[in-house]
Amino acid sequence: MAGCYVLSERGWTLIEHMVSPPQAIGRPSRDDRQILNVIFWILCSGAKWSDLPEHYGPWKTVYQRFRQWRDAGIFDQVLSRLHLCLREDGLMDLRYLDD
């Protein structure tokens, strides 16, 4: 997978608790970080879900996880968390945003 679609260690640390909470019961799920990286690849490349290379696993698994996270509002939570971190680090200047 191209490096530009891979979540950094720092980025993963910031959102892991939202995307990959501890699993107490049931069959172990696929690696959430890898699934998220594959979702980035799909969304950024513009490829169809069904065009996902086989070595990333079944495209339906990735798409199902995408839908679960979208429907649960996980992506909104992640964006809010990352915006907060960028503001705290002084990397996001909100003075120029329109109200």
pLDDT tens across the length of the chain (99 residues): 446 678 888 888 888 888 887 776 767 677 889 999 999 889 888 999 999 988 888 999 999 999 999 999 999 988 888 877 777 766 666 666 555
**Contact by Cβ (8 Å): 35, 62:** yes
Residue 1: both structure tokens together = 């997978």
Q: Which residue has the tokens 């608790």?
A: 17
The pTM of the full predicted model, rounded to 2 decimals, is: 0.74
User: What's the chain's Rg over C-alpha atoms?
Assistant: 15
Reduced to 3 DSSP states, what percent helix, strand and coil does the chain have, rounded to the nearest 5? 65, 0, 35
Amino acid in position 62: V
Would you call 5 helix, strand, or coil by DSSP?
Answer: helix
Amino acid in position 33: R
Q: Which residue has the tokens 């996980």?
A: 74
